[in-house]
Amino acid sequence: MLNQHDIKGHIRSVLRGFFLQVKKDKQAINRDVDLTTEIGMYHLNLTLNRTNALQQETTVFF
């Protein structure tokens, strides 16, 4: 279980890994993630898609 101090770093690390995977593989990914903290349990469904915006390669999630 993550405490409030660790949660931001953990989420940042997980999302960074997802973004790097999308950038490397050049295709969208979808992940179901369960997150348990000292204040509750959360289920997240993330979809990350590689796009081009303003003629710059960009990765966005929605």
pLDDT tens figures, 20-56: 888 888 888 898 988 787 778 888 888 888 776 665 6
The range of the structural domain enclosing residue 49 comes to 4-61
Tokens of 4: 């409030």
Contact 61, 49 (CB under 8 A): yes
- The structural domain count of the chain equals 1
CA angle 13, 50, 42 (to 5 degrees): 40
The type of residue at 25 is: D
Q: Report pTM.
A: 0.59
